[in-house]
């Protein structure tokens, strides 16, 4: 624990004589599945809202997540390339991703991980990131954490947003969204388009791997009465990405993947007993399809895969009184995957799972909230799984200081590829994890400053990996992941904000064999981010970002080292009218030569200019 003491001492020496931004008690949904104040959960949750996305000028959600402590992004190439999120040292398959509350992890991929490459920020209103397991509420895959991406929500009256930008590599972006409410109706509808010539995905290539992305989003809520409303949500993404792979012509290969993602939600909200009993009944649909073509025959790049999830759920939250809330739910899910390589007949797999959970939220005294829950899932291909979790949040001084503690269990069920023929192992067990957090947040100097620190420790067992001995997936891996997330928000003067965070993650292989004690691939031990933004008295806003990523390894034996690197960027925006704003940014200003994934390219210095309007 020497490193923990050293880091804590270093934090204590930070220059807190400056002022900082006060963190508001925001509303979150990932802790219980229903809205609740962030101060009432012991879980570590961060929020990146629309204003922050505009301030950072983030082009993709993956870029915005770089500012969140404990989150590491690995992209294999340029814009639109496969992008994986590792939360607190967990694998990308252990991160559950939701879009407007609907699961969108890719069942057609071998490990079910979500690819962040196609997720642009154009019409996204908010991203909620829960770090640590929460399978009690969300079930499978919520081991490392949960990322809930929400489209722009309806507003009172009418609001329109539009944007256009042009940048390096002939990159063009357009987006528009209209949101509003009238009487019993409230809704939001929008679309975005991205086109880029891109860069060669693999290092050493001379041809560019281009990218196209078309996205649409829509939400509609119909209020029948004070106690009954109907909710409709949809998200559609169609992307075409050229990529490189060692299976074919390498860095100058010509494979192209055409990807389609669809999410649909139809639900009814029924509030009874003067709103103390909230009921939500919903049907959701996730449909993902990927078609890849390559002029090189039998390169394993010619494939047609599809994954779909149909899900029915009934969730309930009952405020028995001011001190006690019960949350419960029942879910039924049917999943399907089809995989075909090089024109062969498709391999088809299916699975059904029935689930139930219950959670109690107790407020025994002012400032203290205790939460405990249990979940049970029954899969028709491998049986049942029971999960427990609990957390505590306590403030002795009306929110100026928050103490948080969490014990959480998570699991990941074998995917259809891992657990069913012809490639799968019918005897697989789910991956499981046990995690505890201890955290503190403190506001000082007239509630204008905030510091925070969280220690986490997770043990994962029965991790699924391919065995060269048996030729199929086996429960052969064990991993421990522990570390510290810490940071500070400062506001030295009005309209000048600094946000800094540091993360240490020790993600260590504890499996028997020659790789015992080795670090997990693509998990840097150290990482940090620093953003500073100032709005000048004459309207111009300027900002900068620094991201520092420590060294890591890209193989299980820790022989392929990726050196540490730092990226520095500048940005500026200037309002022309109350409704119109010009902005620009320069990324990797110092032209750092860095590698995120071994063998893959990364962006050099590049600039972007744009305009956005709001009415």
Determine the distance from the C-alpha atom of residue 427 to the mean position of all C-alpha atoms in its chain, rounded to a whole number: 30
Q: Which residues lie across from 392 on neighbouring strands?
A: 370, 405
204: alpha, beta or left? (left if phi > 0; alpha if psi -120 to 50): left
Inter-residue contact 531 to 498 (CB < 8 Å): yes
Per DSSP bridges, beta strands 44-49 and 185-196 are unpaired
**Angle, CA 303 vertex, CA 522 and CA 197 arms, to 5°:** 65
Q: Where are the domains of the chain?
A: 2-614
Closest by Cα among 595, 603, 488 to 196: 603
pLDDT of residue 449: 87
Inter-residue contact 551 to 564 (CB < 8 Å): yes
pLDDT of residue 7: 42
pLDDT of residue 241: 96
Inter-residue contact 395 to 401 (CB < 8 Å): yes
Average pLDDT of each block of 10 consecutive residues along the chain (615 residues)? 42 33 71 94 96 94 94 94 94 94 87 92 95 94 95 93 96 97 96 96 93 97 97 97 86 93 97 96 96 87 93 97 97 93 86 97 97 96 92 94 96 89 84 95 86 96 85 88 96 92 96 91 97 95 97 95 97 96 97 96 96 96
Inter-residue contact 251 to 67 (CB < 8 Å): no
pLDDT of residue 27: 93
Tokens of 278: 């909230």
DSSP class of residue 14 equals S
pLDDT of residue 6: 41
pLDDT of residue 467: 80
Give every CB contact of residue 366 below 8 A, 6+ residues apart in sequence: none
Please give the Cα distance from 462 to 478 (Å, whole number): 6
Per DSSP bridges, beta strands 145-151 and 95-99 are parallel
Q: Is 426 exposed, middle or buried (0-12, 13-18, 19+ CB in 10 A)?
A: exposed
Backbone phi and psi for residue 84, each to the nearest 5 degrees, phi listed first: -115, 145
Q: Does pTM top 0.75 for this prediction? A: yes
Q: Does domain 2-614 fall into CATH 1.10.275.10?
A: no
Closest by Cα among 310, 316, 396, 304 to 358: 316
pLDDT of residue 482: 97
Length of the chain: 615
Element holding 473 (H helix, E strand): strand 472-490
């Amino acid at each position: 624990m020497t490193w923990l003491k050293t880091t804590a001492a270093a934090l204590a020496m930070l220059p807190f004589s400056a002022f900082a931004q006060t963190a508001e008690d925001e509303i979150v949904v990932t802790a219980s599945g229903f809205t609740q104040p962030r101060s009432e959960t012991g879980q570590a949750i961060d929020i990146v809202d629309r204003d922050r996305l505009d301030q950072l000028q983030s082009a993709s959600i993956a870029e915005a997540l770089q500012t969140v402590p404990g989150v590491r992004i690995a992209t294999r190439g340029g814009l639109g390339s496969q992008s994986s999120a590792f939360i607190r040292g967990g694998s990308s398959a252990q991160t559950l991703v939701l879009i407007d509350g609907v699961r969108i992890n890719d069942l057609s991929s071998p490990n079910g991980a979500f690819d962040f490459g196609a997720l642009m920020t154009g019409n996204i209103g908010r991203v909620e990131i829960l770090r640590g397991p929460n399978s009690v509420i969300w079930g499978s895959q919520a081991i490392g954490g949960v990322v809930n991406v929400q489209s722009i929500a309806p507003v009172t009256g009418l609001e329109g947003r539009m944007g256009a930008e042009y940048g390096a590599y002939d990159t063009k972006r357009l987006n528009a969204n209209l949101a509003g409410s009238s009487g019993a109706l409230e809704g939001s509808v929008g679309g975005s388009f991205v086109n880029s010539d891109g860069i060669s995905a693999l290092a050493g290539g001379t041809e560019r791997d281009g990218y196209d992305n078309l996205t649409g989003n829509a939400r509609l809520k119909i209020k029948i009465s004070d106690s009954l409303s109907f909710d409709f949500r949809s998200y559609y993404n169609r992307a075409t990405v050229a990529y490189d792979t060692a299976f074919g012509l390498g860095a100058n290969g010509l494979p192209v993947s055409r990807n389609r993602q669809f999410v649909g939600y139809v639900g009814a909200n029924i509030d009874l007993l003067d709103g103390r009993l909230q009921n939500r009944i919903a049907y959701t649909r996730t449909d993902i399809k990927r078609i890849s073509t390559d002029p090189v025959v039998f390169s394993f790049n010619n494939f047609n895969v599809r994954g779909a999830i149909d899900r029915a759920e009934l969730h309930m939250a009952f405020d028995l009184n001011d001190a006690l809330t019960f949350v419960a739910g029942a879910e039924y899910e049917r999943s399907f995957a089809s995989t075909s390589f090089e024109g062969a007949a498709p391999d088809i797999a299916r699975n059904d799972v029935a689930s139930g959970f219950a959670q109690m939220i107790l407020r025994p005294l002012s400032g203290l909230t205790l939460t405990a829950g249990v979940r049970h899932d029954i899969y028709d291909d491998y049986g049942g799984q029971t999960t427990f979790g609990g957390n505590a949040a306590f403030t002795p001084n009306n929110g100026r200081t928050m103490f948080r503690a969490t014990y959480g269990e998570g699991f990941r069920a074998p995917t259809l590829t891992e657990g069913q023929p012809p490639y799968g192992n019918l005897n697989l067990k789910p991956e499981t994890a046990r995690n505890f957090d201890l955290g503190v947040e403190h506001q000082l100097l007239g509630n204008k400053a905030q510091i925070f620190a969280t220690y986490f420790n997770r043990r994962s067992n029965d991790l699924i990996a391919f065995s060269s001995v048996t030729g199929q997936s086996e429960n052969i891996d064990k991993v421990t992941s522990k570390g510290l997330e810490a940071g500070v928000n400062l506001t030295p003067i009005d309209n000048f904000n600094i946000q800094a965070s540091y993360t240490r993650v020790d993600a260590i292989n504890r499996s028997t064999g020659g790789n015992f004690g080795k670090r997990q691939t693509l998990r840097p031990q150290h990482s940090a981010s620093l953003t500073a933004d100032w709005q000048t008295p004459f309207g111009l806003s300027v900002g900068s970002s620094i991201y520092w990523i420590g060294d890591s390894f890209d193989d299980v034996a820790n022989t392929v080292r990726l050196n540490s690197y730092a990226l520095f960027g500048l940005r500026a925006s200037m309002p022309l009218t109350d409704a119109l704003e010009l902005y620009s940014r320069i990324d990797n200003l110092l032209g750092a030569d860095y590698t995120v994934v071994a063998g893959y390219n990364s962006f050099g210095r590049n600039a972007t200019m744009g305009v956005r309007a709001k009415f």
